[in-house]
Amino acid sequence: MTSSDTPPPEPERRPAAPSGDQRASRQHGGELDELRRRVNELEGARHAPRHWLRALGSVLLIILASVLALLAVVAVWANSIIRDTDRYVATVAPLASDPDVQEAVTNRVTDVVLQQIDVDALVAELSKAASQEGVPPRVASLIGDLSGPITSGLKELVSTTVMRVVSSSAFEKAWTNANRRAHNAVDKALTGTSDSVVTLKNDQVAIDVGPIVAQVKDRLVDAGFGAAAKIPEVHTDFVVIEGKDVGEIKSYLRVLQIIGNWLPIVAVLIAAAGVFLASHRRRALIGAALGVFAAMVVLGVCLAVFRAVYLDHLPPGTNSDAAGDVYDALVRFLRSSLRAVGALALVTALGAFLVGPSRVAVFTRSFCRRGIGAGRDVAASAGLRLGAVGRFVHRFKRWIGALILAVAAVVLFTWSYPTTMVVIWTAVIVLAAFAIREFLDAPAS
């Protein structure tokens, strides 16, 4: 007879059948889920047109802001050239030391001086002087055939003298002072109503180089060329800009100069409205920044294309190298401005991307946060105690970040003419400020 301490297995129990109340509850729950699903579909269908309209409105505002940003950069440049004397002088001053411009001025002044010297009268005077000195008649007659060599020699002498004047530091100083005195006439020159040193007539922007002729005259006299003393006072123009479209361009610049103070503000407000209207504002901010960057690229391409078109339409005989250098000097600050705005747009787009939920953004933020946190822990182990400062920064962390961005925006908007380096250094300082904020964020210390 065998026995076991193990109790016999209990018979398998089947789960109790749900009661009527439980079945009704499950049925009602399923129906409730189905109703919720249908309500969500209806809500989505009802709000779809609204989201579509918001997205369309946001896109249109951002595109408009990008176009206005392009015009704003040109407007600020035109406004600075007309109203800011120092800016205008800084624009045209380098032309005095440009080799191509110096060569063009030399050729122009040389031609004017030679036109004032009567070579035939000079040859006749030499022949008469030779006869009075008892030179044989045959030799005296040969002197009358020297008009060609004399003309060539005079041209060489005058050209050398003019080049010495133009390449001297005195010419650079005179050029700068003349343009500074003439700046008040620039506004009238762009409207075609000035008869001062800077003029616009016959689709030309020209500068009177008569004072250079006077300096050349004095130097020739000092060098022993007495015939130069008979050169009268001459006023002649050195053409800075020439082309059939100058008259039309000056009208556009005049309009941009009038609205130059307000157009940048309008562009920023319209871009902000486009971002605010969007459903995904961070993405809209990235789109607006990239739109402004694309507008700056388009402006740069337009400047390059217009330069080629302008040089192709120069009148025959014009020094194209000097004309190209003049064009580059006039748009130098415009190019600097578009690079600065483009850099600011890229920095803004990158910042908006790094605060997003993408893996790269999350990894970058985590990496920086952990690195700064490790540095803070090392400092704490060395005896650093943040105390109330850490608690204050932790409590108002977002407000401090907003204040940093606001200060950076004020700096960039109040800077007279920010360059690319100003934008880059501002971004570096902002990053350093955020790093300090993260380091001081220690609520438990």
Percent of the chain with pLDDT over 70: 61
Which position has the higher pLDDT, 316 or 205? 316
Rounded mean pLDDT of 156-182?
A: 74
pLDDT in tens, 51-65: 778 888 889 999 999
**Which three-class secondary structure state does DSSP give residue 230?**
helix
Helix, strand, coil percentages for the chain (3-state, nearest 5): 75, 5, 20
Indicate the average pLDDT of the chain: 75
The type of residue at 444 is A
The pTM (predicted TM-score) of the whole model is 0.68
Q: How far apart are CA 127 and CA 137, in angstroms?
A: 9
pLDDT in tens, 380-417: 888 888 888 888 988 888 999 999 999 999 998 888 88
As given in the structure block, the two tokens for residue 360 are: 């790269």
8 A C-beta contact, residue 178 and residue 238: no
The type of residue at 33 is D
Q: Is the four-CA dihedral 327, 332, 333, 335 of positive or negative sign?
A: positive
Strand-strand pairing, 237-242 and 204-208: antiparallel
Query: Residue 96: how many CB atoms within 10 A of its CB?
Result: 20
Q: How far apart are CA 109 and CA 116, in angstroms?
A: 11
Give the pLDDT score at 296: 94
Rounded mean pLDDT of 88-106?
A: 79
**CB proximity list for 269: less than 8 A, separation 6 or greater:** none
